[in-house]
Structure formats: C-alpha cells, structure tokens
Amino acid sequence: MTDTSDRADGEKARAAAAAVAEVRAGMLVGLGTGSTATHAIRALGARVAEGLAVRAVATSQASDALARRLGIAMLDFADVPRVDLTIDGADEIDPRLYAVKGAGGAMLREKVVAAASDRMVVIADSSKRVAAIGAARVPVEILPFARASLLAALGEGAELRMRDGAPYVTDNGNWIADCRFALDDPAKTAAWLDGMPGVLGHGLFLDEVDAAYVAEYGVVSRLERAGPSR
C-alpha cells in the first residue's frame, strides 16, 4: 500500500471507532457497505466480542456476511420497522451534510435503511470532505429493462458500471449508471432523478445524514446537523 492509502485507511478506522462509540447496549444498528463501512463493522464486532449486546441489519449481502463472521447478531431488514442508529461511509460529504454515496453499489438499500433510522452517521477519511458535493460521480440504480432510454435521459456523463466485462449487478438484481452532474442545486437534481421512471435509487443523500465523523491526521472531527434531518 502507498503512504496515501495507508493514511486513508487509518483515518477510516479512526472515524469508524468514533462512530461506533455511539452504539449502546440493546440498540438495533444499521450497517453500511463499502471499504469505510467495513471498518465500522469490524469495530462493532470487536465491541460485541467484549460483551456488547446489540443486533444489526445490513445494507448488502457482503456486509451481512462480514458481520455474521464477527459474531454480530443479524436480522433481516424486511422484518424490521425501525433502526436506532445507522453507520455508513460516503464518497463525498460537505458542511451541509450533503453526501454522495454508492461506490459500493448499495445506495438504494442504504437509503431505505437510513430512512428507517432514528439517526444516521457517516464516517469518512479526509479526502471525502469537500466544500460542496459534485466532483464524485453520482451512482444511479436503474432497471435493466430501461437501460438504453435511461442512459440517454441521464446524459452524456452517464456510464454503465461494469465488472469483468458485464454490467455490475446490485443485490437487488439491477444495474448502476455512474453519472456526472453539475450539482449547483442538489435538491433539484435529486427530485429529477426521483421522478424518472426506471430510476430505482440514487446516491444523493441530502436529508438522511444527522452527523459525520471525519478523520484527518489522527484527529476526528464531528459535524452535526443543526436541525432535524427528516
């Protein structure tokens, strides 16, 4: 690993540890997806090994499998009406607590779990903290049946995500278009995507995030939303 990747990995671990410190006995915890969320799952698993009694739901099959290996009691989210706290990563996070998510391909499930959570916290290394979201591609989960029409509607900046020469398939059986958008008005873009038939979800998280833990040079900062997120 390079010095930069080592630093980022260490920052992710510190941010994850700070967020997992919010977990209390008896909580039902939502577990995110991706390289940063993996640090949170491992940190929670360590606390469970020390005797913390919690249950959790996962936003992806990969996160569920890891959590089970670490001894975390897992539930099927389909049977869960409410979650106490969800911890997840982000591809970008800005001072408004607007986030772009979905590099791990689970943004639709992540948004559903976030909406059912009393509190959602994002963890990130310093490279993910930006003045305003918009540099990262916005992942959009699309119905494969509507691939051509949706790629045309999403614009020239839309590219179908591929893996091993074939379209990347989400846990929901759908495909992902990674899109370049000018996010001068993120809420307007989110509303446009929400209203497009065949778009099943997207990575703009504008109202879901209650707090963010961002690590830089060994120091973890917490950004807290001033008012209710939802």
Q: Annotated catalytic, 22?
A: no
- Closest among 147, 150, 145, 103 to 124, alpha carbons compared: 103
- Closest among 108, 114, 129 to 214, alpha carbons compared: 129
What gap in Å lies between CA 84 and CA 69, rounded to an integer?
22
What gap in Å lies between CA 38 and CA 31, rounded to an integer?
9
Token output for 24: 């209390």
Q: For 181, left (φ over 0), alpha (ψ -120 to 50), or beta?
A: beta
The total of other beta-carbon atoms located within 10 Å of residue 145's CB is: 11
Counting Cβ atoms within 10 Å, is residue 82 exposed (0-12), middle (13-18) or buried (19+)? exposed
The total of other beta-carbon atoms located within 10 Å of residue 26's CB is: 10
- Sequence-separated (6 or more) residues with CB below 8 Å from residue 175: 141, 142, 143, 144, 147, 160, 161, 167, 168, 169
Catalytic residue among 11, 92, 110, 208: 110
The catalytic site residues sit at: 110
